[in-house]
Amino acid sequence: MSGSAEPLSFSNGQFVSVAACLLGWLGTAAPCRGQVQADPSGRPRFLPDRSQEDWSVLCNRALHNDGWDRVKCVRLGQGQSYLSFGGELRSSFELYRNENWGAAPQDGNGYALNRLMGHADVHIGEHVRAFAELQSGLPFGRNGGPRPVIDRDDLDVSQLLVEFRSSHQNTARLTVRAGRQELNYGDGTLVSTRDLNVRRGFDGINVRVRAAQWRIDAFAVKPVATQQGVFDDAVDHNQTFWGVWAATTKGLDVYYLGLVRKSARFDQGADGEHRHTLGFILKEQTGGWSLAQEGDLQFGTFGSSRLVAWKTAQRTSYAFVRTRLRPVVSLQGAVSSGDADPGDPRLQTFYPLFPKGVYYGPLVFTSGSLNAIVAHPGVSLQLSPTVSFTGDSFFFWRTRASDGLYSPSGALLRTGQTSRARYVGAAADLGVAWRADSHTTLQVVTAYYGVGAYLRQTQPAGKNVKYLSVRAAYKF
């Protein structure tokens, strides 16, 4: 990293803010028993997309061993119909020094983010299902107000879908989903829920085929545009998204994804684009070794000119499963294409479509997978059965000095036309997560970003970043 790492210090008032955030959350949490997240008995798990959960096994009351089990399966008559309820409360405290490398409004006392979600899942017989989920995301005490899209949505529908399932035919099942829903595929580098204070949904249809060794999804949707009020979210008519994603039980994913945007902005300018993505993900595991490869080719048009872009990523890790603390060391590298000439209407900038909320480390404004070379070594430790530690570092370069710097979501952060430097900077973060019980988790993360020559040479001149977050989450 460039620059010296000064110790991150906090005033008494800042510690009070952290304590108030945690105490406010703890005051709402009811103790529950049970082991849902990693129960070897086959109990259901809490999933990132709650609509993917199946709690029908708890219709057998003899299996109840948790205070919430009575609401996970409420019988509707004598048949296979039942109703299931669930929810989440998540509270975070974040503190930055030089957020967005000093370009954003600064907040020396930090701020809180709170998210409340609740859902109802009704199964009518074997073939029909409806799922409804509400979310409320609220920021408190942030200087400059909430960040667009990701911080605030007072109250709205995050998912509202109807699902029709066929009977099992030769171990295969067809499912059709229609309505507002979340999409999550692969490692979330191209299609994922934006799991920040406000999650992202899509309106449309999804047809799924589940067979013995294949899972195939075909979908046509429009992303939902987040508004800050009450029940005012609507589809983003600027974008249309469709695709087919096929995954095997052997660790291979292959996919085609299509995206039309009426207005897309890159360093060379703004215009409409039609972008098609062909790609694969291959994962292999041998003993303690885990290997993963991803390759993507994009083509189409930007305005009236041709678009061709690409990305490749590889990850290697080794798990010392018989060693104390069970350390896992990993090394990941990724390269994505950038635009060769801003004066040429042809575009070569890779675009990540709808990636996960935080991409490389915990900072939401750090470099994304556009015009980027990234090296990422990391280590994780299992300190106890319920406490884990992670340490990661990231080194960033621009692939093309002629193209700009982009956020993980694809927004242009800085032009590339005022500096020929390619080195952007380096980041390191340390995190400790404690699973207090099957419902409750607490996570503390600290990070440091040392700016490189490119961030120092572009305006406003970049400053080194320090970050601390404390997050508590409760799910049922």
Torsion of CA 219, 227, 158, 469, to 10 degrees: 110
pLDDT(145) > 90: yes
Q: Which helix (H) or strand (E) holds 235?
A: strand 234-235
Of 250, 244, 204, 183, the C-alpha closest to 48 is 183
Beta strand 387-398 with 405-406: parallel, antiparallel or unpaired? Answer: unpaired
Q: Rounded to the nearest 5°, which phi and psi values hold at 450?
A: -95, 120
Beta strand 74-75 with 82-97: parallel, antiparallel or unpaired? Answer: antiparallel
pLDDT(368) > 90: no
Summarised one tens digit per residue, pLDDT across range 294-310 is: 999 999 999 999 999 99
Q: What percent of the chain has pLDDT over 70?
A: 91
pLDDT of residue 459: 93
Number of H helices, E strands in the chain: 3, 22
CB 462 within 8 Å of CB 1: no
- Tell me the residue length of the chain: 476
CB 282 within 8 Å of CB 251: yes
Beta strand 74-75 with 440-451: parallel, antiparallel or unpaired? Answer: unpaired
| Exposure letters 244-255 (e unless 16+ CB within 10 A, then b) | ebbbeeeeebeb
Torsion of CA 371, 375, 381, 386, to 10 degrees: 0
Instruction: Give the fold, CATH level 3, of 12-475.
Output: Porin (2.40.160)
- Tokens read off for 135: 């979310």
Summarised one tens digit per residue, pLDDT across range 240-255 is: 999 999 999 999 999 9
Summarised one tens digit per residue, pLDDT across range 91-114 is: 999 999 999 999 988 988 999 999
Q: Rounded to the nearest 5°, which phi and psi values hold at 26?
A: -65, -25
Summarised one tens digit per residue, pLDDT across range 35-51 is: 333 354 578 899 999 99
pLDDT(26) > 70: no
CB 359 within 8 Å of CB 366: yes
pLDDT(454) > 70: yes
Return the higher-pLDDT residue of 240 and 170: 240
Of 111, 68, 113, the C-alpha closest to 90 is 113
